[in-house]
C-alpha cells in the first residue's frame, strides 16, 4: 500500500477523496467506489500502487490514437479497479474485480521496470489503459515522470472523470489522451455508468486548455446512445473544442451485463461519421469494423488518402512533413510523418 494523494482528512477519521468526480467520503475501514482506495485509520491508501494486472506492447492505434505517433508502439499497463460501473464494460474481468469480488490481483512491477521495459521493446509511449488509469494515479504519476526523463511520451485512455485538482498535477506529465465520451445525456451516464456527463465535458475542455493532444471515442449502443440528434449535439460540442479533435465512433458487441442488445449496425457508425463531418469535424473514424473506409485518415481539405488503416495497422500514404502531398494542408497531430 502507498498513501494516496488527493484527499482530505475529516472528523471521526473519515476522509474526503477528490481524485475523481465521484468525490467519495470514505469512513475508516471502507473503500471508495473504485474499490482500490481504502481509509485505514484516517489515512487514505492506494491498494494498487505497482500492482499491475495487464501489461502489453500495443499499436498506438489500439488506444485508439490515430494522430499521435501514428504507426508506433505503446507500452500499455493497468491495475485493477475503475470508478465507473459501465454495464457494457469490455474489460469488466479486471476493472470490476475490486468492487464486485473485493479482489485486487496483480503482480508487483516497480516504476523503473515499466520504463526500462518500454524502452527495451522499442515503444515511443507508455499508455495507462485497459481499466481507468485515474484510480492508479499515484503509480501513473511516478511512471510518467520517469518516462519523460527517458524521452518517452505518456498516454491516458480514460473515462475523463478526474477532478481539476488531479489533472493539474497530471497535465505536465501527460502528452495525449483518448477520452470516452460515452453519450451526450446525463441519463445515459447515470443509468449505464453510475456517473454524470458534466465532469467529463469539463475534463475535455481542461485537457485542451493544458495543451494535451486529445482524441475522443464513443461506443455506439443500439437504442441507448445512437440517436442522430444526440450524436449531432455531441459532434457540435467536439467542434467547439476544436475541429481538429478526432472522433472515434466504435461498434458495440454484447458483453458483461448488457447482453440484450444486438451489435451496432455498420450503417449506424457510418451515419455517425457523416454527422461528425457535416458538423465540421476534420477527422471522424469508425471502429471495430476492420476494412471500413472510415478507418483511414483523409486530408480534411482535399480528401487525399493520408494514412491507410486496416484494424490496428497503419500505412503512411500521401503525407510528407506532416502535410498533404496534394494540397499542402497540415494534418493535425503529434509526430506526424
Q: What is the pLDDT of residues 185-205, one digit of tens each?
A: 999 999 999 999 999 999 999
pTM, entire model: 0.97
User: Is the Cβ–Cβ distance between 95 and 87 less than 8 Å?
Assistant: no
Structural domain containing residue 30:
2-46
Considering its fold, how many domains does the chain have in total? 2
Is the domain of 143 the same as that of 30? no
Residue 85: predicted pLDDT: 97
Residue 50, all three cell numbers? 505497482
Is the domain of 178 the same as that of 242? yes
Q: Could you say which residues of the chain have pLDDT below 70? A: none
Residue 281: predicted pLDDT: 98
* CA angle, 187 then 183 then 333, to 5°: 155
As a three-state string, the secondary structure of 19-73 is: CECCCCEECCCCECCCCCEEEECCEEEECCCCEECEEEEEEHHHCCCCCECCCCE
Is the domain of 131 the same as that of 144? yes
| CATH number of the domain where residue 61 is located | 3.20.20.70
User: Is the Cβ–Cβ distance between 120 and 75 less than 8 Å?
Assistant: no
Q: How many CB atoms lie within 10 A of CB 93?
A: 11
Residue 93: predicted pLDDT: 93
Residue 108: predicted pLDDT: 97
Is the domain of 31 the same as that of 152? no
- Diameter of the chain by CA atoms? 67
Residue 1: predicted pLDDT: 87
Is 215 inside a domain boundary?
Answer: yes
Residue 214, all three cell numbers? 486529445
Residue 240, all three cell numbers? 467547439
CA separation for the pair 162, 206 (Å, rounded): 11
Is the domain of 205 the same as that of 74? yes
Q: Which residues pair with 287 in a beta bridge?
A: 250
Residue 74: predicted pLDDT: 98
| Pairing mode of beta strands 297-298, 54-59 | unpaired
Is 331 inside a domain boundary?
Answer: no
Helices 137-149, 111-120: inter-axial angle, 10-degree rounding: 50
Amino acid at each position: 500500500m502507498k498513501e494516496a494523494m488527493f484527499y482530505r482528512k475529516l472528523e471521526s477519521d473519515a476522509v474526503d477523496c477528490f481524485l475523481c468526480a465521484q468525490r467519495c467520503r470514505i469512513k475508516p475501514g471502507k473503500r471508495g467506489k473504485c474499490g482500490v482506495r481504502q481509509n485505514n485509520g484516517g489515512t487514505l491508501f492506494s491498494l494498487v500502487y505497482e500492482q499491475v494486472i495487464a501489461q502489453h506492447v500495443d499499436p498506438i492505434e489500439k488506444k485508439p490514437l490515430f494522430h499521435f505517433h501514428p504507426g508506433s508502439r505503446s507500452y500499455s499497463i493497468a491495475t485493477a479497479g475503475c470508478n465507473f460501473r459501465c454495464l457494457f464494460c469490455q474489460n469488466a474481468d479486471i476493472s470490476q474485480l475490486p468492487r464486485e469480488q473485493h479482489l485486487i490481483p496483480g503482480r508487483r512491477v516497480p516504476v523503473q521496470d515499466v520504463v526500462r521495459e518500454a524502452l527495451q521493446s522499442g515503444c515511443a509511449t507508455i499508455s495507462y489503459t485497459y481499466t481507468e488509469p485515474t484510480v492508479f494515479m499515484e503509480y501513473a504519476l511516478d511512471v510518467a515522470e520517469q518516462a519523460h526523463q527517458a524521452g518517452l511520451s505518456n498516454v491516458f485512455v480514460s473515462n475523463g472523470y478526474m477532478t481539476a485538482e488531479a489533472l493539474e498535477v497530471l497535465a505536465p506529465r501527460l502528452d495525449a489522451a483518448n477520452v470516452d465520451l460515452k453519450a451526450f445525456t446525463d441519463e445515459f451516464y447515470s443509468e449505464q455508468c453510475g456517473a454524470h456527463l458534466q465532469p467529463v465535458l469539463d475534463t475535455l475542455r481542461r485537457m485542451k486548455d493544458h495543451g494535451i493532444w486529445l482524441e475522443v471515442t464513443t461506443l455506439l449502443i443500439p437504442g441507448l446512445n445512437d440517436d442522430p440528434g444526440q450524436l449531432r449535439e455531441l459532434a457540435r460540442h467536439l467542434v467547439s473544442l476544436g475541429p481538429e479533435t478526432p472522433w472515434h465512433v466504435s461498434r458495440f458487441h454484447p458483453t458483461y451485463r448488457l447482453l440484450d442488445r444486438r451489435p451496432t449496425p455498420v450503417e449506424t457508425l457510418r451515419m455517425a461519421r457523416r454527422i461528425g463531418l457535416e458538423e465540421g469535424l476534420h477527422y471522424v473514424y469508425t471502429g471495430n469494423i476492420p476494412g471500413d473506409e472510415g478507418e483511414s485518415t483523409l486530408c480534411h481539405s482535399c480528401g487525399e488518402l493520408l494514412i491507410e488503416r486496416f484494424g490496428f495497422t497503419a500505412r503512411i500514404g500521401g503525407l510528407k512533413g506532416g502535410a498533404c502531398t496534394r494540397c499542402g494542408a497540415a494534418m493535425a497531430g503529434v509526430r506526424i510523418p
